[in-house]
Structure 1
Amino acid sequence: MKVINFYTSDGEFGCFSNFSRHSIFLKGKSWPTTEHYFQAQKFAGTEHEEEIRYAKKPLKAASMGRDRNRPLRKDWEAVIDDIMREAVMAKFTQNKELKPVLLNTGAALLVEHTANDRYWADGGDGSGKNMLGIILMEVREAIVAGKSRFEKGQYL
């Protein structure tokens, strides 16, 4: 099986990174990157959500989202993956130039390859969960199947 590793927002598969500069439109608002949206949803319905949306760079949005002085929503652990699915689906269906990049990966295994993260990435040694890679593959499968969004219980 072909494996495609990605991490940074540059290079051939840089658009797979949540830091890539591709805006999305969700919840009636424009978000500069999927990272902005994802981090802001930790504080949905609060002033922190908007502060993060207006962060100048995705790294700043990530830093703000990880700041535990901000009150994390109580259901965060239950919704974390679905929020990422929503953001990634929006990114690859709303930015038409990105869809072929994802679809042209065919059946390749997509892996966010870094030692910096054991949940969203592979932990650098393959022992991480690689949830971002898994979600990208789910979105790829959904797009091939003609779906523009996830339905409860599908592609999970």
Structure 2
Amino acid sequence: MSDDEHVINFYRPNEIPYGPFSNFSRHTVFYNNVLAKTSEHIFQAMKFEGTQHFNDVLNTKTPGDSAKMGRDRKRPLRKDWEGVKDELMYEICLAKFSQHKDIQKILLETGDATLVEHTGNDSYWGDGGDGSGRNQLGKTLMRVRETIKNNIKN
């Protein structure tokens, strides 16, 4: 199997070695002048930038709590969310993998493998469990990997 056919599935934050690819992994992220407990916390909070909901979501105890709160449509999403969410995820993931050299190394060691968030729970960020999903998080991490590779040139 060549590298371009190699697929790496990830989902659970505690799975070794690819757990850190999950936004639920316990890696702080400094983004937008804010230190967040996880990339999930800051991503979900950004849905409500400039409102009290931002702080409420950011300050939840777990990434699961932030996700649940961020998906609660009783909270008004920022108007441009659908247009900015993919780029925000990229910027947040780039910050995470730039700020933690140990997990940056794991990401770079994937070479040119296709990264897939393999879950039936999400067909936008994940693959839908059967490959029919968009796998946007996997695509985002591959973009982050390329950005980091291009910036490491000695």
Paired residue for 2:32?
A: 27
Give TM-score, length-normalised by structure 2.
Answer: 0.94
Residues 104-137 of structure 1 deviation map (CA, whole Å, 9 limit, x = unaligned): 0000000000111000000011110000000000
Residues 1:13 and 2:18 aligned together: yes
Give TM-score, length-normalised by structure 1.
Answer: 0.93
Number of residues of Structure 1 aligned to a counterpart in Structure 2: 147
What is the 5 A alignment of 1:22-101?
A: 22-101=27-106
Residues 1:132 and 2:137 aligned together: yes
CA root-mean-square deviation? 0.8
4+ residue runs over 4 A deviation: none
The one-letter amino acid paired with 2:27 is H
Paired residue for 1:4?
A: 8
Alpha-carbon distance between aligned partners in 2 of 1:26 and 1:33, rounded to the nearest angstrom = 11
| TM-superposed deviation, 1:29 | 1.2
The one-letter amino acid paired with 2:38 is T
Residues 41-82 of structure 1 deviation map (CA, whole Å, 9 limit, x = unaligned): 100000010111110000000000001110110000000101
Alpha-carbon distance between aligned partners in 1 of 2:137 and 2:70, rounded to the nearest angstrom = 17
Same amino acid, percent of matched pairs: 54
Structure 1 unaligned blocks of 5 or more: 148-156
Alpha-carbon distance between aligned partners in 1 of 2:147 and 2:88, rounded to the nearest angstrom = 16
Q: Look up the SS of the partner of 2:130 in the other structure.
A: coil
| TM-superposed deviation, 1:16 | 0.2
Q: Determine which structure has the larger helix proportion and give its number.
A: 2
Q: Look up the SS of the partner of 2:144 in the other structure.
A: helix
